[in-house]
C-alpha cells in the first residue's frame, strides 16, 4: 500500500515538474500539493519529500505567494537540513518578503553547504549589495533644510527672484564625476532654484486634466534630458563615496572635508527630488484613469503568460498564455490616447511615487513587510515598462524584447537597479528631514 502511495507521490511530482517547466505555475503548485497529500504519514518527513516542498516553494514564489513559499522552504529545511537548495529556497522566499538580512543568512548557510554553487553565490552577492543600498547610511553632518510644518505635505524650497529657464547643461554638470563637488553643487542648486520657481507659479493653479507642471515644455525638456536620473545618480554616488571613505579612513580628519562636501551634495540632490515629486502629491487625487491603467498593467505583468514569471534562464516559447498576455498588453497600450497618457512624464512620475511610497511603508512598524515589498516590486516593474515605452516612443519593440530570455534578464536587471536607487532615495529623504516628500 505504501509503495503504491509513493508511486502516486512521484507521479504527481513529475506532473508538477512538467507543468512548472511549461510556466503553468498555479497548476504545478496544485500537482505538488497532490503529491504531498498522497504521501503516507510515516513517510511525510522522508528526505525524498524535500524536493517536492522545494519545487512547490518555487512555484509559490512565481505566483508571489510569499507566506506559502516560505512555509514550504522551512519544511524543506526541517526535512533535509544538509541540502543547500532547501536553504536557497528559504533565502529566495525571505528576499521576496522584504527580509534581506534573513535572506542573506539563509544563503550563507546554502553557500557553506555547497561553496561551488554559482547560482547561490550570485544571489548572495546581489543581496549583499542590495543590503548596503538599504542600510542606514551615515552621512557626515550637514545642515539640512527644516522639515515642513505639515508632515503630510511636502513644502517646496523657496527660490530667489529672476530664475532663468531650465538649462540641460546643469544636469550633465551635476552628474559629471570629474568635476569638483562644489561645482557640481552649484549645478544642483541651479536646478533646485529653477524647479522652486516653477512650483511657486504652478501650485497657484488647480491640478487636473489641463497641462500642468510635468507637461510644461521647459519641464519636459529637462526631464527628457534625464533630470530625475541625474539626481538619483548624484545621491547614489555620494552615499557610496561616503561609505567608502568611512571604511578606509576611520577617524582621519583630512577626509572630513570631502565627506562633508559629498553629504552636502547628496542633501541638495535630495531636495531637488523632494521638490520634483511635490506636484505628484498635489495632483494625487486627480487623473484617476492613470491609476486605473497602471493597476491594470500590474495585474497583466503578474498574470499567467507573463514572461516575468518564467524560470530564470528558461526559453520564452510561444504559447496560448503568452499570446493572451500580449493581447492584454495591446488592449492597454494599443490605444493611442492611453499610450500618450501612460508614457507622459506625469504618469511616469506617479509610478515612481507609487514605488517610493510602498518602499517607505514597508519599513514602518506594524506593516506587513511581505505585502508592501510585493507592492514596491510591482510598482517598480510598471515604472520600468512606462519609462522604456516612453524612450522607445512605442510599446511593440519593448514587449517583443521582453518575450525573450535575454530581454527578461535585461528587464529584471533594470528593475533591480531602479529599486536600489529608490531605496536609497527613501533613506535620503529620512536622513535629510524631507519625510513629508512622500505624503506619509
Beta carbons of 228 and 352 less than 8 angstroms apart: yes
User: Quick one: cell of 304?
Assistant: 499567467
Cα separation, 330 vs 242, whole angstroms:
46
Q: Give the cell for residue 286.
A: 486627480
DSSP 343: T
Distance separating alpha carbons of residues 71 and 370, to the nearest angstrom: 13
**36 CB contacts (<8 Å, ≥6 apart)?**
9, 49, 52, 53, 56
For residues 234 and 399, give the distance between their C-alpha atoms in angstroms, rounded to a whole number.
Answer: 30
Domains of the chain: 2-134 (1.25.40.10), 168-282 (no CATH), 288-438 (no CATH)
pTM above 0.85, yes or no: no
Phi, then psi, of 391 in degrees rounded to 5: -65, -35
Query: In the prediction, which pLDDT does 439 show?
Result: 84
What confidence score (pLDDT) does residue 249 get?
57
Average pLDDT by consecutive 10-residue portion of the chain (440 residues)?
74 92 85 92 87 93 83 95 95 85 92 90 79 42 36 38 72 90 89 84 69 85 95 90 69 72 91 91 83 93 91 83 94 93 94 95 86 92 96 94 92 91 90 81
Amino acid at each position: 500500500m505504501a509503495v503504491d502511495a509513493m508511486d502516486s507521490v512521484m507521479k504527481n511530482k513529475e506532473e508538477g515538474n512538467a507543468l512548472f517547466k511549461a510556466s503553468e505555475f498555479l497548476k504545478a503548485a496544485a500537482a505538488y500539493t497532490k503529491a504531498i497529500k498522497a504521501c503516507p504519514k510515516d513517510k511525510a518527513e522522508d528526505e525524498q519529500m524535500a524536493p517536492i516542498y522545494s519545487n512547490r516553494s518555487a512555484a509559490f514564489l512565481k505566483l508571489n505567494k510569499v507566506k506559502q513559499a516560505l512555509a514550504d522552504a522551512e519544511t524543506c529545511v526541517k526535512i533535509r537540513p544538509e541540502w543547500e537548495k532547501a536553504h536557497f529556497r528559504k533565502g529566495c522566499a525571505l528576499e521576496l518578503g522584504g527580509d534581506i538580512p534573513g535572506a542573506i543568512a539563509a544563503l550563507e548557510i546554502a553557500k557553506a553547504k555547497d561553496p561551488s554553487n554559482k547560482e547561490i553565490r550570485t544571489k548572495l552577492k546581489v543581496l549583499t549589495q542590495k543590503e548596503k543600498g538599504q542600510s542606514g547610511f551615515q552621512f557626515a553632518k550637514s545642515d539640512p533644510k527644516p522639515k515642513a510644518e505639515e508632515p503630510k505635505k511636502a513644502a517646496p524650497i523657496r527660490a530667489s527672484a529672476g530664475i532663468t529657464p531650465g538649462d540641460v547643461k546643469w544636469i550633465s554638470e551635476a552628474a559629471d564625476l570629474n568635476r569638483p563637488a562644489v561645482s557640481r553643487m552649484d549645478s544642483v542648486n541651479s536646478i533646485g532654484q529653477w524647479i522652486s520657481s516653477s512650483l511657486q507659479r504652478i501650485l497657484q493653479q488647480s491640478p487636473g486634466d489641463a497641462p500642468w507642471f510635468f507637461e510644461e515644455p521647459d519641464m519636459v525638456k529637462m526631464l527628457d534630458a534625464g533630470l530625475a536620473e541625474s539626481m538619483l545618480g548624484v545621491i547614489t554616488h555620494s552615499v557610496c563615496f561616503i561609505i567608502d571613505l568611512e571604511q578606509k579612513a576611520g577617524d582621519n580628519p583630512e577626509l572630513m572635508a570631502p565627506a562633508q562636501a559629498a553629504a552636502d551634495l547628496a542633501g541638495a540632490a535630495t531636495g531637488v527630488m523632494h521638490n520634483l515629486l511635490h506636484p505628484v502629491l498635489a495632483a494625487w487625487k486627480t487623473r484617476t484613469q492613470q491609476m486605473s491603467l497602471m493597476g491594470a498593467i500590474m495585474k497583466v505583468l503578474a498574470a499567467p503568460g507573463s514572461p516575468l514569471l518564467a524560470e530564470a534562464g528558461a526559453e520564452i516559447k510561444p504559447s496560448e498564455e503568452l499570446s493572451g498576455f500580449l493581447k492584454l498588453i495591446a488592449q492597454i497600450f494599443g490605444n493611442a490616447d492611453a499610450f500618450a497618457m501612460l508614457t507622459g512624464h506625469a504618469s511616469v512620475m506617479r509610478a515612481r511615487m507609487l514605488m517610493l511610497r510602498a518602499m517607505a511603508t514597508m519599513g514602518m512598524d506594524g506593516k506587513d513587510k511581505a505585502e508592501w515589498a510585493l507592492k514596491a516590486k510591482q510598482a517598480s516593474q510598471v515604472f520600468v515598462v512606462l519609462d522604456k515605452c516612453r524612450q522607445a516612443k512605442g510599446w511593440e519593440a519593448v514587449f517583443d524584447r521582453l518575450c525573450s530570455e535575454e530581454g527578461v534578464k535585461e528587464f529584471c536587471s533594470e528593475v533591480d537597479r531602479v529599486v536600489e536607487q529608490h531605496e536609497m532615495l527613501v533613506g535620503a529623504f529620512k536622513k535629510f528631514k524631507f519625510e513629508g516628500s512622500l505624503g506619509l
